[in-house]
């Protein structure tokens, strides 16, 4: 009998990006938030689903992008999201941030499972991002020895997910996993300087944490403009 050949394939269900910014850039962002976003106190909570009201300092605030630094930040993340479109999705599109806001969470705050919409019906392709600006010590301390987890991002050695971001792109029960179906969700560690970018339809939530300190994130939504090359042909 001739040799039997076998090729094992794992099909991709989700494409996203993880970016690490330099500490000095994140320090600049935090300073901008402290001096511009927080003093303006432009509430963004009415547009969001989060339960961010457990502390008097809890808030969801508009992040101005019409200032010099706001434009600088927008340009940086637009370039990152465009790279994901071109390299990850192989699409000749460009990403443009159309809204940006900070989330200031304290002990007991959480975000329900939700996804993000798109800018308009005429721009149906969109992406979203989350940048972790501050993470409380009570979250960091629980995972300081989880070396493998911190390197791989998606395996929580301690089993504790307080303050984590959960992403969900399908529903997989324990029975289905035993039946060889791949897990359809992950928990992402909120690591300072890390930003994740993902398709707007990806369901995600934030689990509560319990302890001192602020969990601060900066979220953005992108519209994706342009058409794939093959659709230009007539």
User: 174-188 burial, b for 16+ CB within 10 Å, e for fewer?
Assistant: eeeeeeeeeebebbb
Residue 26, SS3? helix
**Angstrom distance (rounded) from CA 198 to CA 18:** 9
DSSP run (H or E) holding 175: helix 174-178
Which residues of the chain are under the pLDDT cut of 70?
44-55, 143-159, 177, 227-234
Q: Which helix (H) or strand (E) holds 39?
A: helix 38-40
CB neighbourhood size of 168 (10 A): 17
Max intra-chain CA distance, the chain: 77
138-161 pLDDT, tens per residue?
998 876 655 444 444 444 444 588
- For 61, the token pair is 């605030």
pTM of the model: 0.85
- Nearest residue to 189 (alpha-carbon basis) of 213, 212, 220, 156: 156
Domain ranges of the chain: 17-226
**Predicted confidence (pLDDT) per residue in 8-20, tens digit:** 888 788 999 999 9
User: Tell me: the pLDDT tens digits for 117-137?
Assistant: 888 777 789 999 999 999 999
Please determine, looking at this structure, whether the domain spanning 17-226 carries the CATH number 2.60.120.620: yes
Tokens of 177: 């996993």
């Amino acid at each position: 009998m001739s040799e039997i050949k076998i090729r094992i394939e794992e099909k991709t269900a989700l494409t996203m990006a993880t970016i690490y910014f330099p500490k000095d850039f994140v320090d600049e962002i935090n300073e901008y938030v402290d001096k511009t976003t927080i003093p303006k106190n432009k509430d963004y909570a009415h547009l969001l689903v989060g339960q961010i009201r457990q502390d008097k300092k809890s808030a969801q605030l508009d992040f101005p992008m019409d200032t010099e630094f706001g434009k600088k930040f927008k340009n940086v993340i637009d370039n990152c999201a465009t790279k994901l479109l071109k390299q990850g999705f192989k699409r000749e599109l460009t990403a443009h941030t159309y809204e940006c806001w900070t989330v200031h969470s304290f002990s007991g705050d959480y975000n329900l499972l939700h996804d993000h919409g798109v800018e308009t019906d005429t721009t149906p392709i969109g992406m979203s991002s989350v940048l972790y600006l501050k993470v409380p010590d009570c979250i960091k301390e629980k995972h300081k020895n989880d070396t493998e987890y911190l390197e791989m991002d998606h395996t929580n050695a301690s089993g504790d997910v307080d303050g984590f971001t959960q992403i969900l792109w399908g529903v997989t029960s324990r029975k289905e996993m035993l039946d060889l179906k791949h897990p359809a969700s992950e928990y992402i560690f909120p690591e300072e300087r890390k930003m994740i970018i993902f398709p707007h339809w990806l369901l995600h939530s934030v689990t509560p944490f319990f302890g001192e300190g602020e969990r601060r994130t900066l979220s953005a939504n992108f519209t994706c403009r342009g058409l794939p090359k093959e659709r230009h042909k007539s």
